[in-house]
Amino acid sequence: MARAEIEQRILGYLDTHDAEAVGLLRRLVRIRSLARQEGTVDQPGTVVHLLRGEIGQGERTEVVAQSIGPTSQNLIEVLPGAGERCFIIEAHTDTVPEGQPERWFGGDPFSAAEGTVTYLGDRRIRLEVGGQTHEATIRERMARVWETKRRWRTAPIIYGRGAFDNKAAVASTVMAMRALAAVLPAAEARLGGTLVAAYTADEEETEVGVHALVAGPDSWLGQRGWLDGPRDAQGFLTNISGVALDGSYGYTPVVGHRGSVLLVLNVQGRAAHASTPYLGISAVEQMSRLLVALADGQEELVQRLLPGLDTELLGPPTLAIGTTIAGGGVRAVHRDSGATMVERGGTNAVPDWCEATIDLRFPPGRDYPRDLATLPERIRAEVERFLRERVPVEGWSFTLAAAGSSPPCALGRTPAEAARHPLVALAQRAGERVLGYVPDIETAPGGTDATVMIHRGHIPTLVELGAAGGLSHDAHEYVERDQITAGAKILALMALDVLGVVQ
């Protein structure tokens, strides 16, 4: 059977099973699946247990459950082929917490209800679900799809935590694998290499799932020998490639994202009775001076960092100041039914400690990738120098430490170079065929599992690809309903393009 006919049969299969795809997504959304609580195949009511019953269809398909912890597993679905190449479709199964339930329509973050999204212009959208409405601002790159690619302004949606990030991608991957497993044997054909669908755990916190999949000789890919193949001049493996599915917009291929370093700012003051505050030095007060100095001087600090950074593709660094903060006698903080309750003691004392975090995102260094190990410390040191110049310290002290970092990653150093990468061309080709337009090329503001695939696995990886939706870490998360089958089609076509077909 000709390749073109095989492709048409796959697309037809997915059209026929569209309701099945959406039904799967809705069942996935209804299950709460925080990081390291995705479940195992032996734990009914969990996402992993549900997925195990949905994947592995087709007599040639293998399924492996890879343990991450007592309540967490990766599921790896393998469709073997005839050649040495391997293509990985990676989709994480965990979500961030739902936040305050009362902020969601009907007080239910996991309703998986159907509704609509309408683009209002000027980056504004309106959601309508069950007679309730909500308006929000979306990212510029998301608005660009509405404004430059589409002729319509309203689309049906599925609503709930995880719908966009990342269960739409999971459902599309399941359906793409199901279509390939059904159509290829009937056409007496096989893929020209091995296709791996990896449903991974814990992307939102520690990325332990993708590490277990791709990082080093003890990983699943390492044990299978996929990390031992030939490499190109940049050190990337040449027989294996992949895509990290996550919340891009409308299957826009994302070619890079910035790295991050979490800075911990600790202030030590001098305690005193609150009735005689002049005898002490408030660590909370001094912390406020440091955070205000960062906020007011952020532009200057960025300019000081720029000479060591390459901003052409991913842009300049940014700082989220005070992402967490605690001090004095604070023991714990609880949220319940919309109220925030703080357990505290020592309210009659001048606090002698305070700690805050700063999330700093940065593009590659000028000496990338040779400076990957040293760049976070150079950034930390420059931030500390800036603070010491701006805020006089007398009778109190502060430290600034890096509590962890994740490197930037990209498929090129410039937009033109990234656009020439074969994976980008394949994603655009498949996107045009399915969506009716050529998707733009974008970069992402946050990180994805591609960081690990690129830097630890040395696997050329499309940094992000995913359905259209929004509000992924906020209340009212949604995904466009029609993107589930569209995504499955794009993934199936990309797999055929990367691996080829043999008969």
Cβ contact 32:48 at 8 Å: no
- Domains annotated for the chain, with CATH where assigned, are 3-257+410-502 (3.40.630.10), 259-406 (3.30.70.360)
Residue 282's alpha-carbon distances to 278, 423, 502, in angstroms, are 9, 55, 72
pLDDT digit string (tens) for the chain, length 503 residues: 899 999 999 999 999 999 999 999 999 999 999 999 999 999 999 999 999 999 999 889 999 999 999 999 999 999 999 989 999 999 999 999 999 999 999 999 999 999 999 999 999 999 999 999 999 999 888 899 999 999 999 999 999 999 999 999 999 999 999 999 999 999 999 999 999 999 999 999 889 999 999 999 999 999 999 999 999 988 899 999 999 998 778 899 999 999 999 999 999 999 999 999 999 999 999 999 999 999 999 999 999 999 999 999 999 999 999 999 999 988 888 877 667 888 998 899 999 999 999 999 999 999 988 899 999 999 999 999 999 999 999 999 999 999 999 999 989 888 899 989 999 999 999 999 999 999 999 998 778 999 999 999 999 999 999 999 999 999 999 999 999 999 999 999 999 999 999 98
Taking only the tens place, the pLDDT of each residue in 81-108 is 998 999 999 999 999 999 999 999 999 9
The tokens for 175 are 């359906």
Phi, psi dihedral angles at 314 (to 5 degrees): -105, -5
**Ramachandran region of residue 241, left (φ > 0), alpha (ψ -120 to 50) or beta?**
beta
Residue type, 418: A
326 has which bridge partners?
355
> What does DSSP assign to residue 103?
G
**Going by C-beta distance under 8 Å and a sequence separation of 6 or more, which residues neighbour residue 160?**
29, 30, 104, 108, 109, 110, 111, 112, 113, 477, 478
Cβ contact 145:119 at 8 Å: no
Taking only the tens place, the pLDDT of each residue in 176-199 is 999 999 999 999 999 999 999 999
Beta strands in 57-177 (DSSP E): 62-69, 72-79, 85-92, 113-121, 124-129, 132-137, 154-159
Handedness of CA 365, 367, 371, 377 (dihedral sign): negative
What is the C-alpha separation between 311 and 366, in angstroms, rounded? 9
CB count, 10 Å around CB of 338? 10
CB count, 10 Å around CB of 363? 24
Q: Determine the 3-state secondary structure of 269 from DSSP.
A: coil
Taking only the tens place, the pLDDT of each residue in 230-265 is 999 888 999 999 999 987 788 999 999 999 999 999
Tell me the percentage of the chain whose pLDDT exceeds 70.
100
Cβ contact 126:117 at 8 Å: yes
Cβ contact 207:52 at 8 Å: no
Helices 283-296, 375-390: axis angle to 10 degrees equals 110
The tokens for 474 are 């906020």
